[in-house]
Structure 1
Amino acid sequence: MIYSIFSSGFFWRAILAGGFLALACGLLGVFLVLRRDAMIAHGLSHVAFAGVAIGLLLNLLPLIVSLIICLLGSFFILKLKERAKLPGDTAIAILSSAGMALGVLLTSFKSGFGAELMTYLFGDVLAIAPTEVWLSVVLAFLVVILMVANYYPLVFMTFDREAALVSGVKVKRLEELLVVLTSITVVLGIRIVGLLLVSALTVIPAASALQLARNFKTTLILSSLFSLFSIISGIGIAYALDISASAAIVFISILIFLICLALKKLGLIKNF
């Protein structure tokens, strides 16, 4: 059994794509959680559903179409917050509902791709194609590079937006960068855990790390490690037990969070 797992090409493709996704989610999630923007990934995942439906309907690559739709949706959220003076969660809820409604409407125009649609809703990492793996690697690498390049301004803006503005930090541009990176990460997660669970990868590992870490860099490291462990172990368990990989990954993430929370509450471990 163990030999068959490690000798399977699709298993290693899943690990490669999942590993890079874990790094992107682990880093990005910390910024989103601390900025109280955790729900933006959830909202954009619903927008991505419309992109998947458009791609399947027009026989285009769903991931590419979803990326374009998510990028447009992310800027629409920013414009709603800025011009309509709406709270962030309200803008996200409006766009989320619109994206899901559009996706459902489009799927009613054509029958026959229900099974394929399910793989995008719930994920099917063990069936990921080589082209999707390399697309995931390139996009995840891009996310990490952009975050590292803008690390200090992002940290400044995350902890004190007003002070960052006064200091001349281009806050608006950084906020646009964050939603763009979130859009890319959401699309990356579609094939790993599916549209319905992708937001969990950006929120739960970061929330777990915040229970144990007492400085920002440690939080980023722990979040990435928790995300990586959840994805790799989830894929392995799913392959061995023939269960849903997306569900296994998310449940492991939740288990890690509960353990971290218990350790903090019981005082059994000192903050790193």
Structure 2
Amino acid sequence: MMEMLHYPFMQRAFAAGLIIALLAAMSGSFIVLRRYSLLSETLAHVSLVGVSVGLLFGLSPLWMAVAASLIASWSIEYLRSVHGMYSDSILAIFLSGSLALAIVIVSISGSFNASLFSYLFGSILSVSNDDLMIMAFFGSIAMVLLTLFFKELYFIAFDEEVARTSGIRVTALNFMLVSIIALIIALSIRVVGTLLIGALMVIPPVAAIRFGMGFFKTTLLSIAIALVSVVIGLSTSFFFSLPSGAAIVLSLLVIFVIALAVNRR
């Protein structure tokens, strides 16, 4: 089994996958707690718009995905916090609108090429050393921010109004959280794909919650589940020639079913 690590592309894939799993599971714990899980799926579709624009105009798909996700996340949070719109309504609008826009852009380009397919479903072969360095750099910043403001983000997720009256800078931290989530999703598309990254951010926390522990322990368990799923998924992908993103998500689903069976209540 260890022979797959002799290949440089597998080394990069595992490194990238573990970085993304750590970040996705940790940030996902906050959005699951505040019943905001659809945010990850929405930003994944928005990042697809960025990828499509990048491929159409010969720009970097990764950076275009980052830009599109950040702009959308700020817009969503602005409409929710400033204009008081319902979260599910905003997310539904952005999700359907971004998907429609991506389809139009792909249609204009005149082809559904292999590059776009790899961004949709993930590809272990597409992770380069530059991609890995970018993931490590921005991932470190995201991890530091999530760790520094862990208690405040938990307080906000548990009760936003009480957190606001307690003097916590709720608006600023909310914008910081959605920015981190947007960045993680945009950086994840090489490994998991835009159509599957939402699962890596939502399923681990949901499975960990089944064990009924405190929030901190639940977050740690969520991270462990995500890391194990990435290892199993990428290994399965290598030996059976399966899409890496789909293999990771199926591994997550198996662990989730096990968590349901162990904790039926």
TM-score (norm 1): 0.94
Shift of 1:33: 0.3
Unaligned runs of 5+ in 2: none
Shift of 1:228: 0.5
Quote the residue 1:199 is aligned against.
Answer: 198
Deviations for 1:29-86, whole angstroms, at most 9, x for unmatched residues? 1101001111000001111111001111111111111111111001111222245432
Quote the residue 2:102 is aligned against.
Answer: 103
- Displacement over 6 Å in runs of 4+: none
For 1:208 and 1:51, the matched residues in 2 are separated by 31
Letter in 2 for 1:227: A
Quote the residue 1:270 is aligned against.
Answer: none
Quote the residue 2:10 is aligned against.
Answer: 11
Quote the residue 1:127 is aligned against.
Answer: 126
For 1:169 and 1:83, the matched residues in 2 are separated by 17
What secondary structure is seen at the aligned counterpart in 1 of 2:195?
A: coil
For 1:133 and 1:82, the matched residues in 2 are separated by 34
Q: CA, structure 1 residues 173+236, in 2 after alignment: closer, same or farther (shift >3 Å)?
A: same
What secondary structure is seen at the aligned counterpart in 2 of 1:248?
A: helix
Letter in 2 for 1:34: L
Shift of 1:4: 3.6
What's the C-alpha RMSD, in Å, of the aligned pairs? 1.4
Quote the residue 1:57 is aligned against.
Answer: 56
For 1:42 and 1:218, the matched residues in 2 are separated by 25
Quote the residue 2:47 is aligned against.
Answer: 48
What secondary structure is seen at the aligned counterpart in 1 of 2:264?
A: helix
Letter in 2 for 1:245: S
1:254 and 2:263 aligned: no
Deviations for 1:194-234, whole angstroms, at most 9, x for unmatched residues? 11111000000010111114111111110001000101110
Shift of 1:106: 1.3
For 1:10 and 1:161, the matched residues in 2 are separated by 43
How many residues in Structure 1 have an aligned counterpart in Structure 2?
265
What secondary structure is seen at the aligned counterpart in 2 of 1:109?
A: helix
Quote the residue 2:167 is aligned against.
Answer: 168
Shift of 1:3: 5.2
Bigger mean CA offset, 134-143 vs 144-153: 134-143
Letter in 2 for 1:153: E
Contact preservation (8 Å) 1:56, 1:113: no
Unaligned runs of 5+ in 1: 267-272
Shift of 1:112: 4.6
1:71 and 2:106 aligned: no
Contact preservation (8 Å) 1:125, 1:245: yes
Deviations for 1:91-110, whole angstroms, at most 9, x for unmatched residues? 01111112111111112222
Letter in 2 for 1:166: T
What secondary structure is seen at the aligned counterpart in 1 of 2:177?
A: helix
Contact preservation (8 Å) 2:81, 2:171: no
Percent sequence identity over matched residues?
Answer: 32
Deviations for 1:4-37, whole angstroms, at most 9, x for unmatched residues? 4121110010000011101101111110100111
Letter in 2 for 1:252: S
- What does 1:179-218 correspond to in 2, within 5 Å? 179-218=178-217
Letter in 1 for 2:59: L
Contact preservation (8 Å) 1:20, 1:141: no
TM-score (norm 2): 0.96
Letter in 2 for 1:207: V
Letter in 2 for 1:127: S
Quote the residue 1:148 is aligned against.
Answer: 147
